[in-house]
Chains A and B, each alone.
Chain A
């Protein structure tokens, strides 16, 4: 094998052709029914079918050529690069970092603080709605959720597939308490967090003994139970219709963003009417909430409880034999994670002005978990990058109207959003199983702080 990769590759090419043909045959049969045949309802509403040989040919060709290129060119290239790296003996972690690399966090933070103004300056008020709301706020919500889940999965190593339940608890707490009792956002934001944390403890308590995949499936079940209760408890939650007309957040009670009120923000400052001010305000709220999450996470990692979480992740038995109380350790992890989910939920409710059980399906939990794992568990920067790529990427897809020119006017890129999201999940995992930032910065160290490559760390089974 090694001989053939170094010389003129006749064997590799022959192998690539063989594998490509094989992939073509396999994909032909795989896609024969699902792509080659289209089922649709005719005018009489009866199900009929027609063939799509052209599309099938494209699928087969893509599979065959893709496999051919992978085996023939990409894989030998990657192998060679890995070999060269191993020969030179330089470990990635010991390379000196560039200026941008060292000050990445500061630069990113300054950019985020200036982001709404930049977008107002460049695309104006109307254009900014899209950039601040769809990109900025949307991505930051996911960053916050993923950082919250990171406490449970990344730090404490407890696999939670029902995180969206706490998001739902937060959102419904705010929606219900504000529409039934008229409490303000600033009172309900901490309350939603506390309620969600309470639910974290309630749901965490019974699953203390469970670990790994069993824990995952029970948390999934809890997430589904909460969603089903929200759907069916129509007297309180209005079921699938959801709760609409949720109050907007006010500027700390000083100015309101509701049009027509006396202390309206726009009127008080003598600005022209536009909803962009509210969006910018929301952007800063979620940015502040994200920073709070990051700050708490970083601080907790230095405290005994954070160390206990990480110890629990690495080895539960060793943890117990050292006298760490695993019950409180697990429960605090659940509660802290859930609390941030609750904050995000309350924010989500006030931003949308509408909540329904539709927003809290299992897919959301899966997306959040995917962001945590893709980012590299435990790494805040990696998770933020993953959220930006995955959520921002799917949002960008909405904007790609130029694709209509290529694929015809019937082409709707939104339809492919989740398909591409799923594919991205698989591809990133295959190439970087440890996520974007696979290395770890240990909290406790001997002489100097140094990143540890992900391959040297171990995940517990908790």
Chain B
């Protein structure tokens, strides 16, 4: 039983990270209907920004408090990836909006290749380890919970609440939902569609950056090809929860995290990714709209 709960906690931590990245996928898909393939690499960029901030901050201010350091890492990462995703949308996706369907998908795949190779070229192909930042652990009976796990879950919960508030209660969120439902109509009613889409990309990137920073804190290592596998898993999470739905993305993320850690704990660690992908295939085949997604009706 303790072992099970232990795995549950691990899965929850991992799932929070996937959930944060999944929101970026689901928001972009919801609003312009494209799979932003480069989103996983934005997550990786966020991790790298956090890594570089960590190195600079620790070399200038040796005794910087961990909380301040972490805040700095995440904030700079958010700004950085927000800027990148804004630029990427402007340069590679916006000119192709309204073009034929595969064009933005291809530029997104191209962008993903460019981003990971850009980091490989500028920062080197080796794994980048950092010394552990948060080392405290709590013991509850036989169960061990580390402070970084608590941090990840708490930060995720806070961000989700903030996001839920923005999307549901603010004029910006209203504009986003309107654009999602009908872009042309929203534009006619005075919503600045371009600006709304840009902001959506920035928001998604900021969440991915937080996820990237926490991923770095959790595993203590960053690499240029960190974007692909977590990216695909996060996309799986978004689809599993029902693409276009924010709570769905989080739910999907948590489910993927749980499946992954329980599968590695009880079955085989080698096939954990196979399990994730197989579940994705099954869900899509039997319930193509995901758990919380709205069914898409095609009209002639």
Interface residues of A (CB under 8 A from B): 26, 29-30, 33-35, 37-41, 47-49, 153, 159, 206-207, 209-210, 212-214, 216-218, 220-222, 224-225, 228-229, 231-232, 317-318, 362-363, 366, 369-370, 373-374, 377, 415-416, 418-419, 421-426, 429-430, 433-434, 454, 459, 461
Contact among A206, A222, A366 with B109 in the assembled complex (CB-CB below 8 Å): A366
Cα–Cα, bound, A318→B49 (Å): 50
Cα–Cα, bound, A455→B140 (Å): 65
Chain B residues, Cβ within 8 Å of A30? 80, 83-84, 87
Contact in complex: A362, B228 (CB < 8 Å): yes
Contact among B45, B87, B110, B273 with A426 in the assembled complex (CB-CB below 8 Å): B110
Chain B residues, Cβ within 8 Å of A232? 268, 270-271, 274
Chain A nearest CB, measured from B240 CB (Å): 11
Range, interface on chain B: 35 or more
Residue B99 at the chain A interface, CB threshold 8 Å? yes
What are 11 A-B residue pairs whose CB atoms fall within 8 Å in the complex?
A: A209-B285, A217-B284, A221-B277, A225-B281, A362-B228, A425-B113, A429-B107, A430-B96, A433-B99, A433-B100, A459-B100
Interface residues of B in 98-114 (CB under 8 A from A): 99-103, 105-107, 109-114
Say what secondary structure dominates the interface of chain A.
helix
Contact in complex: A34, B277 (CB < 8 Å): no
Contact among B84, B91, B101, B111 with A212 in the assembled complex (CB-CB below 8 Å): B101
Chain B nearest CB, measured from A314 CB (Å): 13
Contact in complex: B55, A39 (CB < 8 Å): yes
Chain A residues, Cβ within 8 Å of B109? 366, 369-370, 425
Chain A nearest CB, measured from B84 CB (Å): 6
Chain B nearest CB, measured from A205 CB (Å): 10
Say what secondary structure dominates the interface of chain B.
helix
Report the nearest A residue to B125, measured CB to CB.
A415
Residue B35 at the chain A interface, CB threshold 8 Å? yes
Contact in complex: A49, B114 (CB < 8 Å): no
Residue B56 at the chain A interface, CB threshold 8 Å? yes
Cα–Cα, bound, A40→B52 (Å): 11
Residue B132 at the chain A interface, CB threshold 8 Å? no
Cα–Cα, bound, A416→B122 (Å): 11
Contact in complex: A206, B281 (CB < 8 Å): yes
Chain A nearest CB, measured from B233 CB (Å): 10
Chain B residues, Cβ within 8 Å of A39? 51-52, 55, 123-124, 128
- Given contact pairs A34-B49, A210-B285, A419-B120, a sample of 10 additional A-B residue pairs in the complex whose CB atoms are under 8 Å apart: A26-B87, A34-B45, A34-B123, A47-B129, A221-B277, A232-B268, A232-B274, A373-B106, A430-B95, A454-B100
Contact in complex: A433, B96 (CB < 8 Å): yes
Contact in complex: A213, B35 (CB < 8 Å): yes
Interface residues of B (CB under 8 A from A): 29, 33-35, 45, 48-49, 51-53, 55-56, 59, 76, 80, 83-84, 87, 91-92, 95-96, 99-103, 105-107, 109-114, 117-124, 126, 128-130, 228, 232, 235-236, 239, 268, 270-271, 273-274, 277-278, 280-281, 284-285, 288, 298, 300
Give 6 closest A-B pairs by Cβ, nearest first.
Answer: A425-B110, A422-B113, A422-B114, A419-B117, A221-B277, A433-B103
Report the nearest A residue to B285, measured CB to CB.
A206
Contact in complex: B284, A421 (CB < 8 Å): no
Cα–Cα, bound, A48→B52 (Å): 9
Q: A425 with B121: in contact, given A34-B45, A228-B273 (CB under 8 Å)?
A: no
Q: A40 with B124: in contact, given A47-B129, A421-B113 (CB under 8 Å)?
A: yes
Contact in complex: B274, A229 (CB < 8 Å): yes
Chain B nearest CB, measured from A1 CB (Å): 17
Cα–Cα, bound, A454→B128 (Å): 47
Cα–Cα, bound, A370→B111 (Å): 12
Chain B residues, Cβ within 8 Å of A434? 100
Contact in complex: B280, A221 (CB < 8 Å): yes
Report the nearest A residue to B273, measured CB to CB.
A228
Chain B residues, Cβ within 8 Å of A210? 284-285, 288
Contact in complex: B87, A416 (CB < 8 Å): no
